[in-house]
Amino acid sequence: GMFGIIASLVFVGMQVKQTDVIASVEGQDNAVQRHFDMLSLMTEHADVWQRGCAGEDLGAVERAQFAKIFIIYTNNNFAGWRRLEVSGYRQSKSEYNINGYAANLHRYPGMAIAFRSSKEWDKLGFGDNLGPTFEKYYSLIAERVKELEEIEPNPKYGVEWCGRS
């Protein structure tokens, strides 16, 4: 009887581990697909995306396109950061997402403008308290942008790299 119970517990443990591995792989597959979809959208609207990143004047429809791509970029980055924060997937550091996002804000004036505008909308649209998770995310980004301003006071990067993360 005791041997049967032990064998059962070992089997359940193996099933739980296998389920965790499958869930991790599926989560990674979903992240890769979201990233591919975002890059496809940036490519499909490359002219608007690049001019928006550079801070050039855009027409009303172009501003809406840029804003929607920016929101997708932001949400994708946040989801990646959060996934790494929670799971510690492959010992990856969640700072990777923060650094990439902050670099885009620092290097591309249109991204910084969109970020400030989006945060202002969030504050007025959702209220002052976005919750501790978003507050931490935004705080880490702000800290990294300040560091980059000291490290790289006059960034000069081609807009083809805008949105890289």
Entry pTM: 0.77
Local structure of residue 89 (DSSP, 8 states): G
Tell me the percentage of the chain whose pLDDT exceeds 70: 75
The 10s digit of each residue's pLDDT in 47-62 is 999 999 999 999 999 9
**Rounded (10°) CA dihedral 131, 132, 135, 137:** -120
DSSP assignment of 107-163, as one string? H-HHHHHHHHHHHHHHHHHH-S---HHHHHHHHHHHHHHHHHHHH-SS----GGGTT
Token pair belonging to 46:
């490359």
Residue 131: band (very low, low, confident or very high) from pLDDT cuts 50, 70, 90: confident
The 10s digit of each residue's pLDDT in 72-82 is 999 989 988 88
Bigger pLDDT: 11 or 68?
68
Bigger pLDDT: 26 or 58?
58
Quote the pLDDT of residue 13: 60
> How far is 64 from 58, CA to CA, in rounded Å?
9
Bigger pLDDT: 149 or 20?
149
